[in-house]
Structures are given as structure tokens and as C-alpha cells.
Amino acid sequence: MNKAIYKIFACLLLVCSAQVFGEPLRITTTQISPKEALSTKKYKHLAATSPGHYKTLIFFEEAKEGEPYSITIDRTALKELKIPGVKVMHWLYIGAGLHQLDGMKAPFYILSSRGYLPGESVVVEVKNYDETFKHSFKCIPYPIEKSSKEDSAVIRVELVDLRGGIYKVSFDGFKEGEEVRTISFSEGEEIRGSTKIMPGAATYLMPAVEGKNGGMEIFTVQRSNGEKLTIGFPWGINLLPSLEYSSRPKAYSNFIN
């Protein structure tokens, strides 16, 4: 009898220990392009969700069945324009907002680029129901970037001031000390420059042109090895179509080879 009671007590202790010392929730992310959604086997089931749009997959690793989680998306770039709906919150459960697919490491939430501006950054915050877990991070749902075909170098563009029309261009993966030439071309105006790549290197652009309400910026980086990385993005009123939820985005990261 004592042995049976001991076994029951041991089992109860094991169950309680699993609940108390179980793996904590972890949030990880990955972003897939429209092309990847169509061509990569494990993402093929996502191609029909917001077709033609970028998708940021937010994984809820070690999420518990039946436990609610909240996700808040804060569109800080739009706050100064007093546009409604710049901060939204959703309640999620596994199977209700949190998707599960074979071959995927954990349940995930899909943040589509639909309705977001090219280069617009947002702050995402995840909480559990009693707020004992909180995690926040910044991401760009609709990225503007161009990767090198020679090495790991990437240029990325972020809209940092919507009203002022200021963009930040980051140089990631470049060799430290590499000297590059830059050409900014916007609606007939051209500005040339040069910079030496150092850790955290970035440059800022203001593509607005006097007498124009909007247009396209074409930015080129000419590297020391002869490679050219060219990227384009809209500014001013040319951004507005992207705010329409029904719009289909242009792949600004790929429209120039």
C-alpha cells in the first residue's frame, strides 16, 4: 500500500514539476517573400494567404494549448499623421490565429505586408494572458532590400520619418573599410557621393524634389569590386496605394536587377 501511495505521489510531483518548470514561451521570426512562398516546399501552403505579399512568420515556441496570447502591432510611423488603426491588438490561440503546419517548428502568426508602406517599421509586442510573459521587437513587414550576388552584402531601406520623407539606408554584410560610391536619383535630380563602410554604417536620404508631391527614388551603390546594387522605392503620394488593404505590392527589392 505504501509503495502504491508513493508511486501516486511521485507521479503527481512529476506532473506538477512539468507545469512549473516547463519550457517558457519563446518568440522567433522569419520573413518570406512572395517568390519563396511559391517556390519553397514548406511554405507552399502559405502562398494562398495574402498572395503576392511578404509574410513575417512569428513563431510561438512552447505555446500551450488553450492558453490565450495577445499580439499588438504599433505602426509608429503613422501616429503623427493621426491615421486611425495605427495600433491594433489581437487575441490568439493555437488553431485560432496561431497556425500549425507540418514541417513547421511551432505554431505561428502571419503578419502580412498587405496595407503597410514599403520600408515602414512596426513594433510588435506579445503577451500571455496574465502578462507574466512579454516580448517586443521591431520588424519591417514590407521590406525594401537588395542582396549581393557576390557575398553577404545587403542594402536595406527603412522609412524613418514619413512626414519629413526621410529614409535610412543600411549597409549590412559589407567588408569593414570597403569604399563605395552612391548615386541617388529622384524625379530627374541626381546626387552622387561616397562612403567608407564601418560597423553600423548607414546613410540617410530625402528623395523629395521641389515642385513634386511624390515619385520614385532610385538608389545605387557601386562597390569596389565593380558590383552595382540598385534599389528603388516610392515616396510622397506614391506611397498611398500601399495603404490600401486590397492593393498588391510591387517587389521594390527586385524590380531592378
Domain containing 39 — which CATH number? 2.60.40
Confidence (pLDDT) at 1: 46
| Mean pLDDT, rounded, for 229-247 | 85
Domain match, 158 and 49 both: no
What is the percent of the chain with per-residue pLDDT over 90, rounded to a whole number? 64
Domain match, 56 and 121 both: yes
Query: In this predicted model, what pLDDT tens digit does every residue of 126-152 receive, in sequence order?
Result: 999 999 999 999 999 999 999 999 999
Confidence (pLDDT) at 156: 96
Q: How confident is the model at residue 20 (pLDDT cuts 50, 70, 90)?
A: very low
| Mean pLDDT, rounded, for 53-76 | 93
Query: In this predicted model, what pLDDT tens digit does every residue of 81-100 receive, in sequence order?
Result: 776 668 889 999 998 989 98
Confidence (pLDDT) at 85: 65
- Within-domain flag for 9: no
Confidence (pLDDT) at 165: 93
- Within-domain flag for 5: no
Range in 2-16, 173-187, 223-237 with the lowest mean pLDDT? 2-16
Confidence (pLDDT) at 95: 86
Residues 6+ apart with CB under 8 A from 30: 56, 57, 59
Residue 49 DSSP code: S
- Within-domain flag for 6: no
Beta bridge partners of 122: 139
Of 84, 106, 139, the domain-final residue = 139
pLDDT at 62 over 60: yes
Q: What is the mean pLDDT of the chain?
A: 85
Domain match, 123 and 155 both: no
Confidence (pLDDT) at 104: 83
Confidence (pLDDT) at 78: 85
Residues 6+ apart with CB under 8 A from 57: 29, 30, 31, 32, 108, 109, 110, 111
Tally of structural domains, the chain:
2
pLDDT at 18 over 90: no
Of 139, 154, 186, the domain-final residue = 139
Q: How confident is the model at residue 47 (pLDDT cuts 50, 70, 90)?
A: confident
Domain match, 133 and 178 both: no
Confidence (pLDDT) at 163: 86
pLDDT at 16 over 50: no
Domain match, 69 and 157 both: no
Residues 6+ apart with CB under 8 A from 65: 94
- Within-domain flag for 257: no
Give residue 168's domain range. 145-243
- Within-domain flag for 254: no
Domain match, 132 and 164 both: no
Domain match, 45 and 121 both: yes
- Within-domain flag for 248: no
Domain match, 156 and 124 both: no
| Mean pLDDT, rounded, for 181-189 | 96
- Within-domain flag for 4: no
Of 139, 171, 191, the domain-final residue = 139
Radius of gyration over every alpha carbon of the chain, rounded to an integer in angstroms:
23
Confidence (pLDDT) at 79: 78
In this structure, what CATH number is given to the domain that contains residue 236?
Answer: 2.60.40.10
Domain match, 173 and 205 both: yes
Domain match, 133 and 156 both: no
